[in-house]
Structure 1
């Protein structure tokens, strides 16, 4: 027979899907709530997620567990965004621009990592990820091809890209600049900053 189509299996699958949706709702609500108030409580997160406080505690017993889960989720989203940017396609500047477009959409989540002091204690914040390594490899390729400035350090160009994204996120969040305008400014400035 090989396939398990018993009612118990179907119920377990539905329960698993429900747990996944609930966990996602809590994480999304936490990003929204903590973006507005870094000191927000787990009760505030529960209210925003439309669940009880005990439900939040079942998934994330401590605030530190919730922050670690947000951090891991951000890392996963950065990895997926890096894949979508197709860093091996086209010239290095074109690939960097695609990466900026992808990363810009993660602004609320990435700003939390920069802005919330508790993330400093999260062990995953300082780890070099495959996405970091892919970006550094892209910059090295661009320098070798002559499409990116060969006179500045690879890590400097990486930091410049992140600094411009941060400025664009703040422009959109704090100055009510339309998102497409903030992103255009980011890409325009990046293009000039990395040019040979």
Structure 2
């Protein structure tokens, strides 16, 4: 059974996701109110906004990793894993989108988590190159940046209700693997 400290911390974190996903500029007082605690209680758990944002980024990273791991458990190729990962991550747009503009990468714990995620992505891209999905002459770092930016674009579309998570995932994958040409057009010029 969890103790009250764990529950209070979890209430604050959930309130942070709820409040900041609606208003990224919200105050810690708004988070505390949403969590049903006082500001002093919030500050017992988190020294300030940067500390809370770093913890939210760590939770988001864990949630994204868990979603991707569950979705890719039975895939046969790295290519399929990369495609399925878009579908696993895009439904989390509403909860995590606000973190994309926060400078949380300066926190050493978050930087370490982001580095681990990047290393996994780079490995999958390298393997997908071997599988023939990506041109071996295109730098892996370029493909990784494109992948991350397409995920962000998908999150923007989902958040703006311009696409469902699955539609955004399909568009991101198509753009990553085939570009923006009409289907059936194989010209490179």
TM-score normalised by L of structure 2: 0.79
Does residue 57 (structure 1) correspond to residue 34 (structure 2)? The answer is no
The one-character-per-residue Cα deviations of 1:115-139 (angstroms, maximum 9, x if unpaired) are 13x4354344544533321221111
Structure 2 gaps, min length 5: 180-189
2:18 corresponding residue in structure 1: 32
Does residue 107 (structure 1) correspond to residue 93 (structure 2)? The answer is yes
Give secondary structure in 1 for the equivalent of 2:133.
coil
**Contact between 2:157 and 2:163, CA under 8 Å: does it hold in 1?**
yes
1:71 corresponding residue in structure 2: 57
Q: Shift of the alpha carbon at 1:40?
A: 1.4
Give secondary structure in 2 for the equivalent of 1:105.
helix
Q: Shift of the alpha carbon at 1:140?
A: 0.8
Does residue 119 (structure 1) correspond to residue 108 (structure 2)? The answer is no
- Paired with 2:152 and 2:174, the residues of 1 have a C-alpha distance of 14
The one-character-per-residue Cα deviations of 1:170-195 (angstroms, maximum 9, x if unpaired) are 112235433333333223323424xx
1:183 corresponding residue in structure 2: 169
The 5 A counterparts of 1:75-154 are 75-86=61-72, 89-116=75-102, 118-119=103-104, 121-127=106-112, 128-154=114-140
The one-character-per-residue Cα deviations of 1:45-96 (angstroms, maximum 9, x if unpaired) are 0122233323212221322221121122122223323422437842222110
**Contact between 1:34 and 1:40, CA under 8 Å: does it hold in 2?**
yes
TM-score normalised by L of structure 1: 0.76
Give secondary structure in 2 for the equivalent of 1:129.
helix
- Paired with 1:178 and 1:142, the residues of 2 have a C-alpha distance of 26
Name the CA shift for 1:115/1:74 in 2 (closer, same or farther; >3 Å). same
**Contact between 1:46 and 1:52, CA under 8 Å: does it hold in 2?**
yes
RMSD: 2.5
Q: Which has the larger radius of gyration?
A: 1
Structure 1 gaps, min length 5: 1-12
